[in-house]
Structure 1
Amino acid sequence: MPLLIDGHNLIGQVPGISLADADDEAQLVLLLRRYSTAKRGRQVVVVFDRGVYGHPQQLNGYGITCFFARSPHDADAELIKRMRALKRPRDWALVSSDRAIARVAEECGVRVIDARAFARQLRAGPAANAPGAPEKPEARLSEAEIEEWLELFRKRPGGAGS
């Protein structure tokens, strides 16, 4: 089931990531990439409120597509627009704790997953989703992923490349 995620709403529920972090979106996307990979390439679309210029293209990949809402709209308006445009809304799930967005999702036929519950899944990892499964070590990043993250941090203000 593809996911439509209220990005900053979810960040507020993930322990260890703060909305005050300059790279909060990148930290969330890293967790989502692991989740998507563990779920065999599940499609994940994340919508954030305004972000740093250039972020969406640098964060996309590995099953994750990021969008930053543009003024005068916010992420809520963008999420609502996207849900209303879905051709098969019953195939999708929305991750958000925002009641107004959840109400629209239900009206459209989109399943709603509470952001706090989803945050627990993200932090627990794939082993937690399988009862009785042995605990697995955390997945290591590939060389390509490491290079991509290094490039991302080189380009941001105050990064190594500034």
Structure 2
Amino acid sequence: MRKDPSYPDEPNRALPPTDVLPQRRRMEDLPPKPAPQPMPAPVESVSAVESAETRQEEARTVRYAIGKLNDFLQWFLIVLEVALIIRFFLKLIGALQINLFVGFLYALTDIVLFPFSNIVNSLKLRSGQEFEWSTLIAMLIYWLIFWAIRRFLRILISSPDEVAS
């Protein structure tokens, strides 16, 4: 029995023979490790599922309502622009206000043209004929306002990844 010189206080022990050590295993010889089992999904209560479905249904309803409002605004803008362009051409050709249709159209469009009435003086061409700059300006301003409102509503109902054109 030999004594290990690096540790003098150690009692005399025989070193184990080298042929007793176990041989190394190869990777192919190792048993396969069992696959980890997935965590079970949390069980949701019936009320939570119904609540989520209710919220989705409400979101669809709001989205539909905003879409319909957007359609109505487009329709209203088209009617307003057509009425204003008809007024512009009737003034341009000198239509008489004593006519029932012309008088009604002028009275109806005077309401929406009131904010633009004194921006620019009308250009008098001949007897009764006018080139109304204020009508053209009002058409442009109303179109811009309605375009901005409709664009905002479209942004409200579209998802971030949708291309809103």
TM-score by length of 2: 0.24
> When you count helix as a share of all residues, which structure comes out higher?
2
Rg larger for: 2
Relative contact order: is structure 1 or structure 2 higher (C-alpha 8 Å, sep ≥ 6)? Answer: 1
> When you count strand as a share of all residues, which structure comes out higher?
1
